[in-house]
Copies of this chain bind each other. A is one copy, B any other.
Amino acid sequence: MKQITVGVLGAGRIGRMHTENLVHAVPEVRVKAVASPHLDVGWARSLGIQVAANDNDAVLGDPEIEAVVIAAPSGLHCDLIRRAAAAGKHVFCEKPLAFEAEPIEAARRAAEEAGVTLQVGFNRRSDPSLLDLAEAVRDGRIGEVQTLRVTNRDPQAPPVDFVKRSGGLFFDFVIHDLDTVRFLSASEIVEIYAAGGGLIDPAIGDAGDIDTAVVTLRLASGALAVIDASRQAVYGYDQRFEVFGSAGSVVVDNTRPSTRVLSTTGGVLARTPHGGFVARYHDAFIAELRAFAAAVRGDRPVVAGAADALAAVRAAAAARTSLAEGRPVRLGRAAPAADGGTTS
């Protein structure tokens, strides 16, 4: 089958990771071009990429390129989506699409009008363990969902400079958990109560953000969910998920770099979880790109679409309000997903 010709916009940490995954592990595509203001041309060359540009126009204007992977700074996401859609290119875009609903709505309309696929980088939806968990839920093996639990703890707090432009804990970090709750429950969030504080690094508080949160969600189905998020778990990247229902529960535990267990007089010592998202979600990052290729080919609906991005951002905004005002916040009736997202 003919490969899809792809260009990558952005070559920061995530952009480079996506590019290398595309080249090495996504046989459905050929990466023709990568664009980034301060691009390492040698790196692009070593991957056999033909066009290494400093300017997104070199990618967006190339008629041979059928699809783009956007990993530019978050502030540019929606604008790049609209421009790519206008150029008739399918789009995979990193999360978050934006910090507000309006630009996401506009990007969504642009993709719809252009008839291109738009997938959002909610990588957990492609994680083998989470898919396994979701399958058990959907097969009815735990009955009716009653409570969900997401543990999301990063191994180390990001630099305060990043925190300042990140959109804050809810938009940058908890947004994954908000999407995960929707994905696992197949239900919409109708109310949010966020408790949080600055327990790790005072500099994060000085930057107007929090580093620790417990977020309680009420879902349309009646189920409850709780997200336990922290910017810093010194023992590694803590990613655990649990769905509890009328007929049982299903959990996904952390993965580890090795199954080694050492028993001495000091105790029985296993390895700590993976050190960060690149290692933990390695397979998911590849699988989401392959899923994107399949969606572009029309073989399957997108894993996560603009409606999902919108729902997550609305929930993050409600969490922010809840924290600020010290009260639970109800969400308006979410518009149904119209782009093949899981909510449709």
Using a CB–CB distance below 8 Å, which chain A residues touch chain B? 24-25, 27, 46, 128-129, 132-133, 136, 141-142, 144, 146-147, 149, 153, 191, 193, 195-197, 199-200, 212-214, 216, 218, 222-226, 228, 230, 232-236, 238, 244, 246-273, 326-328
Contact = CB atoms under 8 A, between A and B. Distances in A.
Contact of A199 (B27, B153, B222, B262): B222
A261 B271 contact: no
A261 B251 contact: yes
Given A250-B260, A270-B270, A327-B327, 15 more contacts: A132-B257, A132-B271, A133-B258, A136-B260, A136-B262, A141-B262, A214-B226, A226-B228, A233-B249, A234-B264, A248-B264, A252-B259, A266-B269, A268-B271, A327-B328
Nearest to A143: B234
30 contacts: A128-B257, A128-B258, A132-B271, A142-B262, A144-B199, A153-B244, A193-B216, A196-B224, A197-B224, A199-B222, A200-B246, A212-B224, A214-B216, A216-B216, A226-B226, A232-B246, A233-B244, A234-B247, A234-B265, A235-B265, A247-B264, A248-B265, A250-B260, A262-B267, A266-B269, A267-B269, A268-B270, A268-B272, A268-B273, A326-B328
B269 A265 contact: no
Contacts of A269: 266-270
Contacts of A328: 193, 195, 326-327
A46 B27 CA distance: 9
A26 to B, nearest CB: 10
